[in-house]
Amino acid sequence: MNGAQAAGDVWDRNDLKLDGGRVIDRRVYRSKDIYQAELAQLFTKTWQWVGHESEVPAFGDYLTVQLAGRPIIVARGEEGRLRAFYNSCTHRGAMLATAAKGNCGGSFTCMYHAWSFDTAGKLESVPKAEAYGAELKKACYDSPAVRLDTFCGNIFVNIDGKAPPLDEFLGASKQHITEATEGQEVLGRVRWKLEGNWKLWHDNFRDNYHPMFTHQVLTFLYQGVEIKGENHDLGGGHSYMKFPPQGSGDSYAKFVQRLTGRAYAGAPAMGTPDKQAYHVIMAVFPNLDIQFGGGNGSPYSSYSVLEVVRPISVSEAIIEIVAFGHVGEPEAVRQERLESLLSIQTSSGKVSADDTEAARRCTIGLGASEAMRWSNMGRGQAPGMSGAKNDEYSLRGFYSEYKKYMGDILRSENN
Ligand code: FES
Ligand SMILES: [Fe+2]
């Protein structure tokens, strides 16, 4: 339930005199103990998006990812099956693959002493093994499997193996993940390091209050228009915001010109006809965001972009942005999508650079948390789980679920 609180929750005793579901205790962005608990209780116990099947279509294709400090390989085997296992040699621990993605040719050979593993992490060969005599029980040296499942082509892994089935975990977000990624493939990824707590980035995606003020490239779209749209807590920590494009066709032309420096010559054919004009920003618990939409007559119609943020310390995170395109689109359209992504949503993109700066300012500002412990996320007064575009049901839904995973550590006064 939106804003659900445990009895005796210290968040209820906040200085802002708000319901504890309407505030954020700023320690969640700064406490090293809370960060360690997030790794142990959140990132290992939830399903984590790691890639899309289109990125690993053939036998031997693999991708690598680091989750909660654990290096993981996802590889496609001979029979077409995807498997995940630890990217760590069972001999002395060296990584088996260092590239973000590639093709292993059927096996991963460790660079250190050349032990070799198949696409399921099974130890295949050990050079000069006779020196081990009968001691070397090869079956004890397979790299342990990591639980893997897919939904609509999206690959998820669960480190502790005990999360609910993926379908159940994704819950009400499934319908929208399907809308965003069905019939699509990954065109490319961009990643960069955020100097800030991972939740600052994820909060920002659930926050539709800021764009009209933060993003100078967008502000004029909001002038003199009635702001419409929806903001939903979908339950399970997932959220969904849907809104029509702001501004008119003319203002979109101006927007494109500002972004690209080129005159806007009208929307190119994007492969999929525009049916409906809308933007969606959805968040999948705990650290995945998907933006998609279509039909506004801009070159960015029928787009899908996915973002995942993974912490590497309490104050640093890797942000990865993944561009999708419809299967079978012309090369020129794919190029346009990638260029749009670079100009809008990368570390130097005209929108994401603002969000990065907001996170940086929050990170420094939160240094004053001892003097001011609580942040407000109380927008939207209608009871229930849904409100208007700029409300914060989406944020409250995240922290309600976050509290369930984090448990007692948030109720302690001493982190
Ligand atoms: S650490 Fe991999 S073979 Fe020795
Ligand atoms: Fe933003």
pLDDT score for 404: 96
Phi, psi (degrees; rounded to nearest 5) at 376: -95, 135
Q: Residue 108 CA: which ligand is closest?
A: 1
Amino acid identity of residue 59, one-letter, is: F
pLDDT score for 10: 84
Question: Rounded distance, CA 165 to CA 173, Å?
Answer: 14
Q: Is the CB of 47 under 6 A from ligand 1?
A: no
Which residues keep their CB under 5 angstroms from ion ligand 2?
355
Q: Which of 49-63, 210-224, 292-306 has the lowest mean pLDDT?
A: 292-306
pLDDT score for 2: 42
Q: Residue 128 CA: which ligand is closest?
A: 1
How many angstroms separate the alpha carbon of residue 89 from the centre of ligand 1? 6
Cβ-Cβ contacts under 8 Å for 224 (sequence gap 6 or more): none
Q: Say what the ipTM of the complex is.
A: 0.97
Q: Residue 95 CA: which ligand is closest?
A: 1
Question: Rounded distance, CA 84 to CA 155, Å?
Answer: 10
Minimal CA–CA distance to 288: which of 88, 111, 65, 51? 51
Q: Is the pLDDT of residue 262 over 90?
A: no
* Domain-wise residue ranges, the chain: 48-162, 172-405
Q: Is the pLDDT of residue 7 over 60?
A: no
Kindly report the CA angle at 341 between 214 and 212, in degrees rounded to 5? 20
Cα dist from 102 to 63, 172, 344, 401, whole Å: 6, 33, 27, 36
Q: What is the pLDDT of residues 148-205, one digit of tens each?
A: 999 999 999 999 999 999 999 999 999 999 999 999 999 999 999 999 999 999 999 9
Q: What is the pLDDT of residues 98-127, one digit of tens each?
A: 999 999 999 999 999 999 999 999 999 999
Q: Is the pLDDT of residue 251 over 90?
A: no
How many angstroms separate the alpha carbon of residue 144 from the centre of ligand 1? 16
pLDDT score for 294: 67
Contacts by residues 13-19 (CB-CB < 8 Å, ≥ 24 positions apart)? 14/373, 14/374, 15/372, 15/373, 15/374, 16/374, 16/376, 18/374, 18/376, 18/378, 19/378
Q: Is the pLDDT of residue 332 over 80?
A: yes
- Residue nearest ligand 1's atom 3 by CA: 113
Q: What is the pLDDT of residues 357-406, one digit of tens each?
A: 999 999 999 999 999 999 999 999 999 999 999 999 999 999 999 999 99
Question: Rounded distance, CA 342 to CA 352, Å?
Answer: 10
Q: Is the CB of 110 under 6 A from ligand 1?
A: yes
Is residue 213 within 8 Å of residue 229, measured between CB atoms?
no
- Residue nearest ligand 1's atom 4 by CA: 113
Question: Rounded distance, CA 314 to CA 196, Å?
Answer: 8
How many angstroms separate the alpha carbon of residue 88 from the centre of ligand 1? 9
Q: Which CATH class is domain 48-162?
A: mainly beta
CATH 3.30.360.10 correct for 172-405: no
Is residue 360 within 8 Å of residue 195, measured between CB atoms?
yes
- How high is the mean pLDDT of the chain? 89
Residue 396: strand, helix, or coil:
helix
Cβ-Cβ contacts under 8 Å for 128 (sequence gap 6 or more): none
Question: Rounded distance, CA 361 to CA 377, Å?
Answer: 18
Ligand 1: which of 87, 95, 112, 128 to mutate, judged by most atoms within 8 Å of the beta carbon?
Answer: 112
How many angstroms separate the alpha carbon of residue 59 from the centre of ligand 1? 24
Query: Which residue has better confidence, 290 or 225?
Result: 290
Write out the two tokens for 378: 């109380």
